[in-house]
Amino acid sequence: MRRLPWGRRMAAVASLGDEKRRQLFELIAASDAAIGRDEAALALGLPRSTASFHLDRLVQDGLLAVEFHKASGKSGPGSGRPAKMYRQATSEIGASVPDRNYDLAGELLAAAIEHSTATGTAVGDSLLATSYRKGQALASGAVSLEVFIAGEGYEPSPDGEGGLTLVNCPFHRLSDGHPDVVCAMNGSFLRGAAAACGEPEERIAPNSEPGQCCARITPP
């Protein structure tokens, strides 16, 4: 599953700063079944209107999803109307400032080890191959390479020559300690993304500017 855009992840984390909202989220996250507004309000001793407001805000911020179920065991006017129910929308949401994507790095490294173990391929070669394929898969259907890498947290900025500088490194802490491995992984991932967006892979070039990503996008 693709992670939410950075702005929405930040909003989701900030949303839980409200105590009532956090309690409602924890209540629903701990439940195996979707929960209705009345049940949630009763469980936390909140007015129904208050529970409804915060539940809908959690939906807006991407933390909860809505389902509609016909209530069982009820009769009379309105008993046949489906009830609005809430469930957790995603298993986890993380946000950092600046935007980082260590989950993706971990996924690529684990996939490379699995591929190496299964095929006997050198781990480094497996990492390049799995990173390239992941870049292709994630960028498939993207509007453009620039839009894709912006969504992945690279913060592309025009370099004044028709290319792009990648201001942010989503793997910053890892690349500080293991630059050869992480930069090779990153370059392969971006080349796969470029290919999926119909761009020449050669547009992905090394970048040695301090404080920026180890790759840049050269002019077409």
Q: Before 98, cis peptide (omega within 30)?
A: yes
pLDDT digits (tens, 9 = 90+) for 159-180: 999 999 999 999 999 999 999 9
Alpha-carbon span 105 to 93, nearest angstrom: 16
Give residue 138's pLDDT.
95
The predicted-structure confidence for 124-162, as pLDDT tens digits, reads as follows 999 999 999 999 999 999 999 999 999 899 999 999 999
How many CA atoms does the CB half-sphere of 21 hold within 13 Å?
20
> Under a CB-based contact definition with an 8 Å cutoff, are residues 156 and 167 in contact?
yes
Tell me the pLDDT tens digit for each residue of 20-48: 999 999 999 889 899 999 999 999 999 99
Mean pLDDT for the chain overall: 89
